[in-house]
Amino acid sequence: MNGPGRCPDCRKPVLWTRTLPGATTAGGKRLAVDPVPDAAGNTAVRRDGTTAWVSRRVTEQQPLMGYERLHKPHVATCPAQQPQLPLQATDTPGRPRQGALPEGVIRLDDRRRRRRP
């Protein structure tokens, strides 16, 4: 599937693209981008000769071309992606710790510490 569609997680509209080969990727993978161009994005999107949507990462070596538009990858804006728990200071100096965990979830470090004699 290439072109307009919906995110399977949040059901918002996305534009499905095929990635182009780059320095670190072989290309040909599907990437969902937000359908509205965004100047804060990092993905160049255009139509190729077969009218399929293709995308690539914008770099200093390969800047944005006049026929491309900047978009944000949808994974960066998807509300269904779970946010990380905030880090909070602990009693132990130099050891940050995550905030409260959901009910029924324990920190293994805490459990191991309690088991030690």
1-34 pLDDT tens trace:
677 899 998 999 999 999 888 766 677 889 999 9
Tens-digit pLDDT string for the chain (117 aa): 677 899 998 999 999 999 888 766 677 889 999 999 999 999 999 998 888 899 999 988 889 999 999 999 999 999 887 665 555 545 555 555 556 777 877 777 776 766 665
The token duo for 116 is 């030690």
Number of domains in the chain: 1
Is 10 part of any domain? yes
| 32 touches 15 (CB < 8 A) | yes
- Rounded to two decimals, the pTM is 0.65
**Token couple for 75:** 């994974």
Tell me whether residue 42 is in a domain: yes
**35 in any annotated domain:** yes
Q: Is residue 91 part of a domain?
A: no
| 59 located within any domain | yes
Domain annotation covers residue 115: no
C-alpha–C-alpha distance, residues 51 and 38, integer Å? 21
Residue 104 domain flag: no
98: in domain: no
Range of the domain at 20: 3-76
